[in-house]
């Protein structure tokens, strides 16, 4: 499974949803699921960071990291912190949600982009494929405005109105489209002008339900949009991760259970999970194979 650059693909196996591709290093993290899933306190996040520090390969040998459910997308922040602080790079996030939302209890899967924007090595963040109401006027106050106003974070949305951003001086940080083809055409042109090393983070809830099913509300992308984007990263890709696999979990912590439910998550049946994971794992393999062709 490893590519010609000897990149070691990793499974951070919290929920056993992503499968284990041939040659990938499987790191069992069942015992961390209750603590880390959906969100956690910074102390807990640091404990996981310390635990993984001796288990992950050196950054130059690290391939694609699969993390399972999108409930673990905040682990991307941990991976970004390992990147060289003196080499700026472009963070491209494919996600149906901005992940730039306010969360006062630590870090969670919907707030990590704000924390990523504070890292000195991250020069710019583009979040592609947002079609959730998280960026609508009704939820404007829940978004972190500072990285948008500083043009550090850009939203690329589909069929979602975020004109409110002009009122906070961030009009140029919003790019709105009716379909993913138009979005990708414009973004790939902009990406070619940035010309920086790229870290690519994919949450498969950006995809239409016609492609795969997740336990979050989903967007409009097709697999070809992700594959075309990956192809355009050729010679520039320095890191990648994938979330958005499907799993269910019943929290022991009542507060987490409440937060998760209020965030609109669907809890599929086990039969649905088993069926959906077949397409999910197949897509993971296609994405990893495509990534193996474009590493810097």
Does 32 have pLDDT greater than 90?
yes
What local confidence, expressed as pLDDT, does residue 124 receive? Answer: 98
Phi, psi of 235 (to 5 degrees): 80, -5
Q: What is the phi/psi pair of residue 32, to 5°?
A: -95, -5
- What is the pLDDT confidence band of residue 259, given thresholds at 50, 70 and 90? confident
Percent over 70 (pLDDT), the chain: 97
pLDDT of residue 264: 62
pLDDT tens track for 103-127 = 999 999 999 999 999 999 999 999 9
Q: What is the pLDDT of residues 166-205, one digit of tens each?
A: 999 999 999 999 999 999 999 999 999 999 999 999 999 9
With 0-12 / 13-18 / 19 or more C-beta atoms within 10 angstroms meaning exposed / middle / buried, residue 123 is middle
Domain ranges for the chain: 8-291
The pLDDT-based confidence of 255 (bands split at 50, 70, 90) is confident
Largest Cα separation within the chain, whole Å, is 50
Q: What is the mean pLDDT of residues 152-163?
A: 98
Q: What is the mean pLDDT of the chain?
A: 94
Residue 2: pLDDT above 50? no
Is the per-residue pLDDT at 266 higher than 50?
yes
More confidently predicted of 188 and 251: 188
- Cα 168 to Cα 118, 141, 174, 256: the distances in Å are 19, 11, 12, 32
Q: What is residue 265's predicted lDDT score, i.e. its pLDDT?
A: 64
Domain 8-291, what architecture?
3-Layer(aba) Sandwich (3.40)
- Mean pLDDT for 134-143 is 98
Would you state the pLDDT for residue 88? 97
**Pair 207, 223: CB distance under 8 Å:** yes
How sure is the predictor about 248, in pLDDT bands with cuts at 50, 70 and 90? confident
Q: Whole-model pTM?
A: 0.96
| pLDDT of residue 62 exceeding 70 | yes
Cβ burial of 178 (10 Å; 0-12, 13-18, 19+) is: exposed
**Under 8 Å CB-to-CB from 54, ≥6 apart: which residues?**
none
């Amino acid at each position: 499974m490893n590519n010609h650059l000897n990149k070691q693909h990793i499974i951070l196996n919290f929920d056993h949803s992503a499968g284990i591709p041939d040659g990938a290093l499987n790191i069992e993290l069942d015992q961390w699921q209750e603590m880390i899933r959906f969100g956690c306190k910074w102390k807990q996040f640091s404990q996981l960071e310390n635990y993984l520090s001796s288990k992950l390969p050196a950054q130059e040998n690290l391939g694609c990291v699969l993390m399972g459910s999108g409930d673990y997308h905040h682990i991307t922040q941990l991976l970004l912190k390992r990147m060289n602080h003196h080499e700026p790079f472009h963070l491209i996030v494919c996600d149906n949600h901005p992940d730039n939302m306010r969360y006062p209890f630590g870090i969670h899967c919907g707030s990590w982009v704000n924390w990523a924007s504070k890292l000195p090595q991250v020069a710019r963040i583009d979040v592609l494929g947002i079609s959730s109401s998280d960026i609508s006027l009704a939820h404007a106050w829940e978004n972190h405005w500072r990285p948008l106003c500083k043009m550090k974070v850009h939203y690329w949305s589909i069929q979602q109105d975020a004109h409110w951003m002009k009122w906070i001086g961030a009009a140029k940080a919003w790019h709105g489209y009716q379909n993913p083809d138009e979005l990708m055409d414009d973004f790939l042109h902009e990406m070619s002008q940035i010309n920086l090393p790229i870290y690519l983070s994919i949450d498969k809830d950006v995809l239409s339900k016609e492609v795969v099913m997740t336990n979050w509300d989903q967007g409009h992308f097709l697999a070809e949009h992700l594959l075309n984007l990956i192809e355009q990263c050729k010679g520039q890709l320095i890191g990648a991760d994938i979330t958005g696999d499907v799993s269910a979990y019943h929290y022991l912590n009542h507060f987490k259970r409440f937060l998760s439910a209020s965030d609109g998550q669907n809890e599929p049946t086990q039969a649905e999970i088993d069926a959906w994971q077949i397409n999910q794992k197949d897509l993971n393999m296609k994405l990893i194979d495509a990534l193996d062709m474009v590493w810097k």
